[in-house]
């Protein structure tokens, strides 16, 4: 991680996370999130808003890769600090446009579905809305999730 070309992240250009390896990205996010845990809630939410807006510029694959690293970083951090950051991030994401929420939910799904049960439990303690958002059916036409399919494949 001593590479001078790694993004600083303090300037709000989180979309540059897509240009580094997964290990570098996760390490950078841990450092950034640990710093975020120490600031006021107002400042933390502002920085989360900047991060989410910056990540909106990524394509779906890049967003999924960065989201997987975000989840990994939260799981590797001290749980109390991760909970503070994870819940602030989720609160900001809940207030963003619906399309941003949908794209983040879709991006989180592959990473969440690969997690072992113990990691899912830890993630539920850290960022419960992340799990709810990523495991609900995603509607492509509005904010309301599609109803679950019945066993015979029909919808309610």
Q: What is the chain's pLDDT, residue by residue, as a tens digit (156 residues)? A: 444 355 555 666 677 888 889 999 999 999 999 999 999 999 999 999 998 988 888 999 999 999 999 999 999 999 999 999 999 999 999 999 988 888 888 999 999 999 999 999 999 999 998 888 887 765 554 444 444 555 555 554
What is the three-class DSSP state of 155?
A: strand
Q: Is 8 a member of any domain?
A: no
Q: For residue 148, is it within any domain?
A: no
CA within 13 Å, CB half, 37: 19
DSSP for 8-65, please give it: --TTS-GGGGGGS-HHHHHHHHHHHHHHHTTS-HHHHHHHHHHHHHHHTTS-HHHHHH
Does 73 fall in a domain? yes
- Does residue 76 sit within a domain? yes
CA distance 100 to 30: 23
Cα torsion for 71, 76, 82, 88, to the nearest 10°?
A: -20
Which range marks the domain in which residue 49 is found?
Answer: 14-135
C-alpha dihedral (25, 31, 34, 39), degrees to nearest 10: -110
Residue 78 lies in a domain: yes
Residue 18 near residue 51 (C-beta atoms within 8 A): no
Based on the structure, what is the number of domains in the chain?
1
Position 145 in a domain? no
């Amino acid at each position: 991680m001593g590479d001078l070309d790694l993004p600083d992240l303090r300037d709000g250009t989180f979309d540059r996370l897509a240009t580094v390896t997964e290990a570098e990205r996760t390490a950078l996010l841990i450092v950034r999130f640990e710093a975020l845990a120490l600031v006021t809630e107002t400042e933390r939410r502002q920085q989360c808003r900047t991060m989410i807006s910056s990540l909106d510029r990524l394509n779906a694959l890049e967003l999924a890769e960065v989201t997987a690293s975000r989840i990994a970083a939260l799981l590797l951090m001290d749980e109390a600090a991760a909970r503070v950051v994870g819940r602030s991030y989720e609160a900001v994401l809940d207030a963003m446009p619906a399309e941003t929420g949908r794209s983040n939910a879709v991006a989180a799904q592959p990473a969440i579905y690969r997690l072992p049960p113990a990691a899912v439990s830890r993630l539920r303690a850290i960022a419960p809305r992340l799990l709810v958002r990523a495991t609900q059916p995603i509607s492509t036409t509005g904010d309301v999730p599609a109803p679950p399919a019945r066993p015979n494949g029909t919808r309610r």
